[in-house]
Amino acid sequence: MKSHVWRPLYVVVALVAVILLARLVIVPKGFGAHDQGYMYGFHRLSNEAEWASMKPAYKFDISYCQGCHDDKVAALTSSKHSIIPCEDCHGPAMDHPDDPPKLNIDKSRDLCLRCHAHLPYPTSGRSVIPGIDPDAHNPGVECVECHNPHHPNLEEM
């Protein structure tokens, strides 16, 4: 064969070799799905102990809140916000009620707009959530001044 065929082939082989060597150096040894190979998972066995030692911050369980806040949980579970975990607005509850004695409540307009800003995408699941135009609907006013998140159908708190 002529050299114009071999030269590009050598370049491609060299490029593949460089990529494989770089992967060998950059990717940690424990990375991958192990029995299935590197390509099928993003898990590092050598990192499991590190993750196991991390203390979780969220309870993810509404029954934890119900023990002390039965009235609020009852109001929330009967509202349109019933699918939203308490900790989405009230913050992580793992150390509550001991430390902190009261959870910080995010009453910012931005928190409400995460779900209620109007999205024009008909295929997103958010199209069924009532959306507002934040520039036209009471700009500069926090939503909780007019709306109760535990009773979102009521206009006044």
Domain regions of the chain by residue span: 3-53, 62-145
> What is the chain written as a DSSP string?
--HHHHHHHHHHHHHHHHHHHHHHHHS-TTBS-SSS-GGG---BGGGHHHHHHSPP-----HHHHHTT-HHHHHHHHTSTTTTS-THHHH---TTTTTSSSSPPP---HHHHHHHHB----TTSGGGGS--B-TTTSSTTS-GGGT-BTTBTT-S--
pLDDT digits (tens, 9 = 90+) for 55-93: 888 877 788 888 888 888 888 888 778 788 888 888 887
Ranking 30-44, 99-113, 126-140 by mean pLDDT, the lowest is 30-44
113 vs 118: which has the higher pLDDT: 113
pTM of the model: 0.55
What is the percent of the chain where pLDDT is above 90? 8
152 vs 19: which has the higher pLDDT: 19
What is the percent of the chain where pLDDT is above 70? 83
29 vs 139: which has the higher pLDDT: 139
**40-49 average pLDDT score:** 71
